[in-house]
Amino acid sequence: MSRALSCSTSRRPPAEAGLPKRVRIWEAPRMWRRVELRNYRSIEHVKVDLAPFTLLVGPNGSGKSNFADALVFVRDVAFDAATAVEKRGGVTDIRRWSSGKPSEVSIDVRAAETRDELGHNFLRHGFRIHSRRTGAWSFRSEAIEVVENGEHLLDLVRRGHNIEVDVHSYERMAQMPALSETASAMVLARQLAILYRKPALRHIRRIRLNPEAMRQPQAASENTLLDESGNNIAVAYRSLKYTAKKDVLAAMEKIIPGLSSIDVKPFDRFLLLNFTQEQGAGERATFSASAMSEGALRALGILVAAQQIRMDELLIIEEPEVAIHIGAAQLLFDVLKRASERGAVLVTTHSADLLDAAKDEEILVCSYRDGVTKIGPLASEQRAVVKDGLFSVAELMRSEPLRIEGEPIPAVEP
C-alpha cells in the first residue's frame, strides 16, 4: 500500500458496527423537501420529493451533481445571489444550453415534516432568474411562504422591482426597503423570527472532500463545521463531543485495521491530525494525515459530517463510495442513514451495492439522454419486481438500467 494507513479490504464490517448511536432522535422533525427545477444546467424540468434519506442513483455524467448544486445554489442565493451566480461561471453557465436558448432559470423548494404536509404545512422559497444575451441577469419573480395548517403566516411576492409582503403572524415588517435586481428578497425575509426558527431552507450543506487539502496542516479556526472540501477536518474533529469522537473512532476502526486512536495536536500555529495504529508485538506507530490513504480520509470526513448534522439541515454527500472499499462504503451508508434521523441526507451514487438498504420512496433515478438530465422515482414495473422478491434493487440495477417512472422500456436491438 502506498500510504501507511488505508482502508481495509479484508472483509465487510457488520452492518451495525461503529454507527453513530448518539446522532439522535429526540423527536426532531425529519424534513421532506419538494424540489422543482427548470433550465438549471443540464436539467430541463424536474419535480421530485426528497425523503429524509434519499439516494440519487445514476451513471457518471448523468447530472446528479447538477441537481445537488441547484440545492446549494438556493442556499447561496439567500445570502448573496450575485456571488452565487458568479462563482458558477455566470448565468450563461447556469442556464441550460439548448438551440432555443431558454432565458429563464427557475427553482422552487419547499420543506415540511412529512410528505403529506408539503401541501398545507410548509416553508417555500421559489424564484425565476431572467438572463440577457449580454450575460446580465435579474430576478424576474420570487416567492417566500410560511404555511401552517393551511394558514399563510408569511407571504412575500416579488415581481421585478415590486415586492409585496404580508406577515399574518404576530410579527410586523416595516415597508420592504429597495433591493438590487440581483439580490434575493430572502436577504431581508430570513431576519424574521418566523423564518429564523425554521432553518430548513438555509441549512443546506454539501460535502465534496479533497483528500490533498485534508492532508495539510490546518490553521486553528472558529469555524468548527466541516467545510465542503474538508480542509478544516482537524478543527472539525477536535470540536466533536467526547461521545461523538468515540463513535467516529469506532467506525474508523472497522475501516482501518489496527487503528487505536485519532488525535489533534498543535504544531506552531497549525493543527495536525494524527493516527495511531497497532503494529503487532505491543508496538504502535503514529502517522500524520499526510500518510493516510484517500479512502481513509474520505471516510473520516463523512463520519465527522454525519456527527455534525443539525436539525432541519439537508446534508449532501456526493458519491461516498469513491476510493473506498465496498465494505467501508456500506458502513458509511448505514452511518448516513442513521444521521438522517436527526436532519436529512441526500446521497448521490453510481454504485449498485449501496441500494439494497434504501426504501422504495428513498430512491430517485437520474438519467441523461439527448443532452437533458431527467430525475424521478423508480419505474413502477421495476418497483413491482423488487416488491415481489424477484430481485433486490442492486441485482436489478446490475441486470438492466434503472428507469424513471413513465419512461418507456428501451427497445432491444436484434
CATH of the domain at 310: 3.40.50.300
Q: Give the list of residues 6+ apart from residue 152 with CB closer than 8 angstroms, or none.
A: 145, 146, 166, 168
Q: How far apart are CA 145 and CA 237, in angstroms?
A: 37
Place of cell 415581481: 159
Residues 183-220 as b/e (b if ≥16 CB within 10 A, e otherwise) read: bbbbebbbebebbeebbbbbbbbbbbbbbeebbbebee
Residue 9 lies in a domain: no
Residue 97 lies in a domain: yes
E strand map for 103-239:
104-112, 122-131, 137-148, 151-159, 162-167, 204-207, 218-219
Residue 238 lies in a domain: yes
* Domain shared by 185 and 259, yes or no: no
| Partners of 349 in the β-ladder | 57
Q: How far apart are CA 355 and CA 189, in angstroms?
A: 39
* Domain shared by 312 and 177, yes or no: no
CA distances from 339 to 12, 35, 48 (A): 21, 21, 22
* Domain shared by 45 and 131, yes or no: yes
E strand map for 160-312:
162-167, 204-207, 218-219, 259-267, 270-280, 283-288
* Domain shared by 171 and 219, yes or no: no
Last residue of a domain, one of 204, 226, 254: 204
* Domain shared by 42 and 190, yes or no: yes
What's the DSSP call for residue 410?
P
Number of domains composing the chain: 2
* Domain shared by 172 and 220, yes or no: no
Kindly report the backbone phi and psi dihedral angles of residue 403, in degrees, each rounded to the nearest multiple of 5, phi listed first: -115, 150
Q: pLDDT by residue for the chain (414 residues), tens digit each?
A: 334 445 544 434 444 444 444 443 334 567 999 999 999 999 999 999 999 999 999 999 999 999 999 999 999 999 999 999 999 999 999 999 877 767 899 999 999 999 999 999 999 999 999 998 888 999 999 999 999 999 999 999 998 888 888 877 655 555 567 789 999 999 988 888 888 778 788 899 999 999 999 999 999 889 999 999 999 999 999 999 999 999 999 999 999 999 999 999 998 889 999 999 998 888 899 999 999 999 999 999 999 999 999 988 999 999 999 999 888 999 999 999 999 999 999 999 998 888 887 888 899 999 999 999 999 999 999 999 988 888 988 899 999 999 999 888 776 555
Of the candidates 3, 21, 8, 43, the one whose C-alpha atom is nearest the C-alpha of residue 250 is: 21
Count how many residues are written for the chain. 414
Kindly report the backbone phi and psi dihedral angles of residue 73, in degrees, each rounded to the nearest multiple of 5, phi listed first: -60, -40
Residue 332 in contact with residue 302, Cβ under 8 Å? yes
Residue 64 lies in a domain: no
3-state secondary structure of 298: helix
CA distances from 321 to 57, 207, 267, 326, 351 (A): 12, 13, 32, 7, 7
* Domain shared by 249 and 294, yes or no: yes
Last residue of a domain, one of 204, 224, 256: 204
Place of cell 418497483: 383
Residue 2 lies in a domain: no
DSSP 2-50: -SSB----S-PPPTTTT--TTS--SS----EEEEEEEEETTEEEEEEEE
Alpha-carbon Rg of the chain, whole angstroms?
23
Domain that holds residue 193: 31-50+70-204
222 CB neighbour count, 10 Å cutoff: 6
Q: How far apart are CA 60 and CA 372, in angstroms?
A: 14
What's the DSSP call for residue 339?
H
* Domain shared by 214 and 187, yes or no: no
Last residue of a domain, one of 186, 204, 222: 204
Residue 378 lies in a domain: yes
Flag whether the pTM goes above 0.85.
yes
* Domain shared by 192 and 88, yes or no: yes
* Domain shared by 290 and 220, yes or no: yes
Q: Taking the mean position of all CA atoms in its chain, how far away is CA 367?
A: 19
Of the candidates 338, 321, 318, 322, the one whose C-alpha atom is nearest the C-alpha of residue 330 is: 321
Residue 24 lies in a domain: no
Q: How far apart are CA 182 and CA 135, in angstroms?
A: 13
* Domain shared by 212 and 177, yes or no: no
What percent helix, strand, coil does the chain show, rounded to 5?
Answer: 30, 30, 40
* Domain shared by 142 and 267, yes or no: no
Kindly report the backbone phi and psi dihedral angles of residue 158, in degrees, each rounded to the nearest multiple of 5, phi listed first: -120, 130
Residue 339 lies in a domain: yes
